[in-house]
Chains A and B, each alone.
Chain A
Amino acid sequence: MIKIEGVRKVFNGVTVLDHIDLKVEKGEVVSILGSSGSGKSTLLRCINGLEKLDGGSISVDGFDVARPKELAEARKRSATVFQLFNLYPHMTAVQNLMLAPVEVLKVPKAKAEADARALLASVGLSERADAYPAQLSGGQRQRVGIARALAVNPSYLLLDEVTSALDPEMTAEVLRILARLADEGTTMVFVTHEVEFARTISSRVVFLEKGRLLVDLPTTEFFADDGGLANPRVRQFLSNMSKG
């Protein structure tokens, strides 16, 4: 379980996260919605230890991310997919997938490579396994990014606006894979602008506004008139998104 309790984060005097409480159990798909600057991505960066907390605590399967020794354990349990892919540019797709399993999980190289190629095949990239990131399209790069995250067998998949840098066709490519992962029971924390997609794959939807957690409801309740939509800010956000 990812347990977020009373988390605060301040950048240069601006409170970006304000006493956030959130729990993600195994098997859940939790979408985090909110306008730009609401703190969604920062929350994800706090979970994987890229940002230091200014208050509260976050633990992944009981490992406190604020303690360096426990952070290493917490990081072994989650994997992040980034908005701008952040692939290692000097390595081929297959090498991108192999690095963490070999270096962190001490998987033998031959097995890591076989696993990596199988994973790339599962995202439709068996032909491109030996290509470098610069030789791939944006959608292909993000599929490598997802496969790289899956290569460490994470208990939790953290996705940070993974389709924001992609055109609609490539977005569809990536969303198809995420839908399949959700079907297979992968636990995901999904920061996104894709409201319709969030609605179809999530078990729960969380709405952030100016660093505060406004709504946290099961998906069907979130989109019900007497549920999440009863909140005027949520209603306004969703109607703006559907116009866009």
Chain B
Amino acid sequence: MQFDLTVLLPHLGVLRDGAILTAQACALALAGSVVTGALVAMASTSASKPLRRAADIYVDIFRNVPFIVQMFFFYFGLPVLGLYIDAFTTGVVALSIAGGAFTSNVIRSGILAIDPGVIEAAQVFGLHKRTVFLKIVMPIALRTSIRPLGAVLVNLILTSSILSTITLNELTGSAKIVASDTFRPFEVYFVLLVVYAVLTWSVSLAIGALHRRLNRDIVEVVS
């Protein structure tokens, strides 16, 4: 067997475009799933029973159905109802919704770990509910949940490879094309492996840095 990466040189453009598409989809989906997760976590810790119930149902549905099935439903199922959404948007939305189910649980546990006295203090000083959530609850919850959140986000990047099944030529999709054009699957998928590892590793590094920044008052203890 020979290992010759130079055979990929003419195809670098395709792979690069795929990598950029993956990075864009993931960046949007990371933001989308954190925002979705925060909103669902807020619902699941609210005083209103119907809101808590709705949050539970959401999490149960999207955690217990394979991601590929959810995505097929959005991409191939919804057009039957007259709803046509392009592959990129479908992919980002599906990742955000599915990711949100996982991030919401992580953020929820961060919220439940907050000393209730701290929230009471904010309340008696007359802070508006929304201000309490944005300035007290979320920042403190993120301090404790940023690391497990990072694990969910890395998983999201890995899951994004499934977007190739709805005609989106992101990194994995482009790699498949290059592999069948060159008949050199070993080199192609070796590169793919390295690129995904670099992508997820940089997210892990960023999460670590964010964790240290959010916990800078106790950083010696937790880093």
Contacts and interface: CB of A to CB of B under 8 A. Distances in A.
B140 A89 contact: yes
Contact of B135 (A103, A131, A148): A103
B136 to A, nearest CB: 6
B126 A50 contact: no
B139 interface: yes
A193 interface: no
Given A99-B135, A134-B217, A87 B124 contact: no
B127 interface: yes
B126 A87 contact: no
Interface of B is mostly: helix
B210 interface: no
Interface stretch (B4-12, B44-52, B115-123, B184-192): B115-123
Contacts of A76: 126
Given A133-B217, A134-B217, A82 B140 contact: no
Interface string A104-134: 1000000000000000000000000001111
Q: Chain A CB within 10 Å — which of B125, B131, B217 has the most? A: B125
Given A50-B123, A135-B217, A88 B131 contact: no
Given A86-B115, A90-B139, A132-B217, A100 B127 contact: yes
Contact of B117 (A84, A104, A133, A148): A84
A152 interface: yes
A152 B125 contact: yes
Interface of B: 115, 117-118, 120-128, 131, 135-136, 139-140, 143, 214, 216-218
19 contacts: A50-B124, A72-B126, A75-B124, A75-B125, A75-B126, A79-B125, A80-B121, A80-B124, A82-B117, A89-B118, A90-B140, A90-B143, A90-B214, A99-B125, A103-B128, A104-B125, A135-B217, A148-B125, A152-B126
Interface of A: 48-50, 72, 75-76, 78-80, 82, 84, 86-90, 99-100, 103-104, 131-135, 148, 152
Given A88-B136, A100-B126, A134-B218, 9 more contacts: A48-B124, A50-B124, A79-B125, A86-B120, A88-B121, A88-B122, A90-B140, A103-B128, A148-B125
